[in-house]
Amino acid sequence: MKKPSVTVLLVTYNHINTFEKAIQSVLSQKTTFPVTIIILDDASTDGTVELINKYKNLENVKCILREKNAGGTTNIYEGLKLVNTKYFATLETDDYWCDENKLQTQVDILEKHPECSFCAHNTLVKYAGSSKTRYYIKDVPDKIFKFPPEEIKRRYYIEPHPSSRLYRTECLNLEEIKNPVIATYDVATNFYFLTKGNLYYLNKVMSVYNCSGSGVYSGVSSYRQRYKTASVILQLNKEFGFKYNRLLSRFFSTRLNLNFLTYLRLRYSKNPENLDKMYDCILENYEKKYLNNRDKKPVCYLSLPLSKKSSLVLELRREKDRA
């Protein structure tokens, strides 16, 4: 049996204010096995590279510094090709780990549960300029999630934050993946690894997600966020030849708030060619209706509490000038 070892892909782009906290959270891990750190910088322009150079001579650190920006998908995908350890994790350097035993805990779990393709835990969400925090996943105890889920409900299916996941490397087959997004985008990667084995979820906070409001995802409008995630779900559906359409049509419909009849049409259509056209048409219509004149980050939010567990959120935004 191959001895446990871990590669951590540190993904960075213009993270000068957060990079060192992220890498220190990895270097401070207490483990009984070797940990290799591969820093993937996507042509930062804010001084992040100067910080990276402080660590480039460490024995267990390797630096990949791009001269031209390639985008997050390519940056991570090329990094995945360098992984040759039994397990690997990814950490974007605007986030960080907050438990020095995180890797050891997760490796111990995966060593005991060979049927699991990855292990994840809860994450604390922090908001820039605010003392507000929340748990990324609520009210889910320690549990092994199997695929396919019995129902598309949180008790059967969850999407832990990427900073919380430790993957079994042998379950990732880059040669079979047609679209690099499947191996690099959080929603798609979560689903892909579930098709390879079970997920062991640990209800313990061991990472922090900094919701800065200026990231690739958090820095755009909620409409653009929904559109982007739905687009990835469609790419995931196509990757598997619509084999899991009954599951993914629910995810897709939920992201775009589609009406029930539209969801049923997607779910029960059996012709892949028709499905492809239906999905593309829905995305095109959504883009025309919600993005062309509204794709701007809100000027402000107004949250009105309705109960202890729910609230109504109003967004104030400027529309783009009409042609």
Set out the domains of the chain in order of their start, with CATH numbers: 6-211 (3.90.550.10), 220-323 (no CATH)
Ranges assigned E (strand) in 105-232: 116-127, 133-135, 143-145, 166-168, 198-211
Distance separating the N- and C-terminal Cα atoms of the chain: 64
Mean predicted confidence (pLDDT) in 195-211: 96
Is the torsion defined by CA of 305, 307, 310, 312 positive or negative?
Answer: negative
Q: Is the pLDDT of residue 179 over 70?
A: yes
Ranges assigned E (strand) in the chain: 6-12, 35-41, 61-65, 87-92, 96-97, 116-127, 133-135, 143-145, 166-168, 198-211, 300-305, 311-316
Tokens describing residue 50? 């100067």
Per-residue pLDDT reduced to its tens digit, 64-117: 999 999 999 999 999 999 999 999 999 999 999 999 999 999 999 999 999 999
Report how far residue 250's alpha carbon sits from residue 266's, in angstroms, rounded to the nearest whole number. 9
Mean predicted confidence (pLDDT) in 112-125: 98
pLDDT at 323: 32
Per-residue pLDDT reduced to its tens digit, 53-72: 999 999 999 999 999 999 99
Cβ neighbourhood burial of 161 (10 Å; 0-12, 13-18, 19+) = buried
DSSP label of 6: E
